[in-house]
Amino acid sequence: MDGLLHANQVSRASLGGIGLAFAGLVDPSEQRILSTNKKYDDALGADLPGWVRQHWDVPFYMDNDARMAAVGEWKYGAGRDTDDLVVMTIGTGIGTSAIIGGRLLRGRHFQAGVLGGHISVQYEGRDCTCGNKGCLEAYGSTWSLAGRLEGIDDFEALFAAAEKRQGRRVAGEAGLL
Ligand SMILES: [Zn+2]
């Protein structure tokens, strides 16, 4: 964390708070990680508020990463002009979240709206980390890329390969190859 502050030229004295957007189920009222879906299991039971208090002593907030992305888009991004929006994040996993009528959807167990990546798109398809089969996340997340396409293990590599292939196709159609 101190490295992050240093890299962004933020002094400890000017640090106003710390927010953590976590890729998993989070109880923001208790500041607790509820489920990691086998991605960051060492975070379960971690006393993150205590860690922040001990090292930086600033306000701390944590929530699901897709939910925090939705709030960011709502307040400062593509959703500024509406009180109704949904967000999908594609990365390590596939996250979803929704703001409806100006209220961030959470639900009693903090699962409402955030499990869109675990909608089954291939009945009896690939195994997912959640225990289901054929989830969207099992086909379109970073973890699902590993071992499926040679030399591609993240989206940067995937997009570069797609651009290269597209360039070849366009060049071929133009008779340049
Ligand atoms: Zn799943």
Phi, psi of 32 (to 5 degrees): -130, 140
- Quote the ligand 1 centre to 94 CA distance (angstroms): 9
Spell out the per-residue pLDDT of the chain, length 177, in tens: 788 899 999 898 999 999 999 988 999 999 999 988 777 888 888 899 999 999 999 999 999 999 999 999 999 999 999 999 999 999 888 999 999 999 999 999 999 999 999 999 999 999 998 899 999 999 988 888 877 778 888 888 888 888 888 887 766 776 766
- Quote the ligand 1 centre to 27 CA distance (angstroms): 20
Q: Are residues 112 and 123 in the same domain?
A: no
Q: Are residues 40 and 70 in the same domain?
A: yes
Residue 149 contacts residue 161 (beta carbons within 8 Å): yes
Phi, psi of 97 (to 5 degrees): -165, 165
* Structural domain that includes position 123: 119-168
- Quote the ligand 1 centre to 41 CA distance (angstroms): 16
Global pTM value: 0.82
CA distance 105 to 43: 24
Q: Are residues 90 and 164 in the same domain?
A: no
Q: Are residues 129 and 88 in the same domain?
A: no
Do the domain assignments include residue 175?
Answer: no
- Quote the ligand 1 centre to 151 CA distance (angstroms): 24
Q: Are residues 82 and 147 in the same domain?
A: no
- Quote the ligand 1 centre to 150 CA distance (angstroms): 23
